[in-house]
Amino acid sequence: MNRNSDKLKVLIVGSWRWPQYEQAFAKGMQEHGVNVIALRTAPFFTGSTGRLQLKIPFLGPAMMRHNRQIIEVADAQRPDWILFWRPTHILPGTLRRLKTLGLCLASYNNDDPFGPQAHGNVPWHHHLLWHWYIKCLPTFDRNFFYRRVNCDEALAKGARRADVMLPYFIPKKDRPVELNSSEKAKYGADVTFVGHYEPDGREKSIRALIGASVKLKIWGGHYWSRKVLGDLYGRLQPIVPAEGDDYAKALCGAKICLAFLSKLNRDTYTRRCFEIPACGRLMLAERTSDLTQMFKEDEEACFFSSDEELVQKVRWLLENPKERERIAEAGMRRVWADGHDVESRAEQFINNLQL
């Protein structure tokens, strides 16, 4: 506990760019009485040189200023813990200096830092992006990862401790929503996928469903291009992101919500696997051992291992609306009961720090 108070004090160092990450987690910790201090990296990496340093963490002026400020803020605030969120631009020397101040250091990474070594099929700059992060792993007191495979890899790189911290849903954002008539026209679909394109065959699954006369919508970014979708591009337009309140509306407008898993990140679950049930919708996800342990198959969620099985499951679910609603309701109860909301996840994190 903090030396001047029994209230835990945590400094979170990160980009604070996306509301579902540092911001949501900070609010979750604050609900448990934690005093959270934010230190944002974004102001340091501006201009052409700064943006280049953000993409490739070479020892330039932006990176050096950022590391100096971390020491200055930590020295002034003296938190109990510093949580570094996806710390790609932190230097080992900075961590050693923080340790001399008597501070405890934790890292969390929702990406796959060992993907470049494991399979190499990543954006080119990722081969350089994780250099300092991997060097820092042994200096952190605690390291938290999105996926189990990264824990084992971190330990092999000298990390002291490596634990899984699962993703979460945000109750104020991920919740059942009643749509009005215009929203039903906009978001209504038999099947919806909200997410990015990745060259892992998901476009073939989309094609199989449309070929089976399933009314399908995609909500995502520009990577769902004509090159990717071919002759389906015109039928699926417009494909735009569903962000903020539109995210829950896009899910709630569908009878079935797909969850594809990133092969580049070696995912066996994803944040969407908790968000979809939290919105009261039926999740149809790629089958993995992790997901079948989290959800009872065809009782709390549905799974598929091939495009043929995907089409069969969709047909069955569309023909059985009562079963569909029963599974969706059970899935929502499961994510709440198992503490997959952000406040419960923050509590799990706080308790874990004390182990």
Domain-wise residue ranges, the chain:
9-167+341-353, 181-337
CA distance 319 to 242: 27
Strand partners, 8: none
Q: What is the pLDDT of residues 113-158, one digit of tens each?
A: 999 999 988 889 999 999 999 999 999 999 999 999 999 999 999 9
pLDDT by residue (tens digit) across 54-97?
A: 999 999 999 999 999 999 999 999 999 999 999 999 999 999 99
The confidence score (pLDDT) of residue 6 equals 65
First-to-last CA distance in the chain?
Answer: 13
Is the pLDDT reported for residue 27 higher than 90? yes
Q: What is the mean pLDDT of the chain?
A: 95
CA distance 312 to 318: 10
Return the CATH architecture of domain 181-337: 3-Layer(aba) Sandwich (3.40)
The CATH code of domain 9-167+341-353 reads 3.40.50.2000
Q: Which amino acid is at 94?
A: T
Cα Rg, the chain, nearest whole Å:
22
Amino acid 2: pLDDT: 40
What is the reported pTM? 0.94
If you average pLDDT over residues 91-120, what whole number do you get?
Answer: 96
CA dist list (Å): 172 to 20, 248, 249, 322, 355: 11, 10, 13, 27, 30
Q: Provide CB contacts within 8 A for 268, sequence distance 6+.
A: 147, 148, 261, 288, 289, 290, 291
Judged by phi (left if over 0) then psi (alpha if -120 to 50, else beta), residue 217 lies in: beta
Characterize 234-248 residue by residue with b for buried, 16 or more Cβ atoms within 10 angstroms of its Cβ, and e for exposed: eeeeebeebeeebbb
Q: In what order do the strands lie in the sheet with 35-40?
A: 35-40, 9-14, 81-85, 104-109, 142-145, 162-164
Integer angstrom CA distances of residue 24 from 70, 86, 307? 21, 15, 35
Instruction: Judge whether residue 4 has pLDDT over 80.
Output: no
Give the pLDDT of residue 121: 86
Average pLDDT estimate for 186-208: 96
Average of pLDDT values for 290-306? 98
* DSSP assigned state of 43: G
pLDDT band at 214 (very low <50, low <70, confident <90, very high): very high
One-letter amino acid for residue 136 of the chain: C
- So what's the pLDDT on residue 42? 86
Average pLDDT over residues 204-220: 97
pLDDT at 298 over 80: yes
Tens-digit pLDDT profile for residues 216-246: 999 999 999 999 999 999 999 999 999 999 9
Q: 9-167+341-353 with 181-337: one CATH topology? A: yes
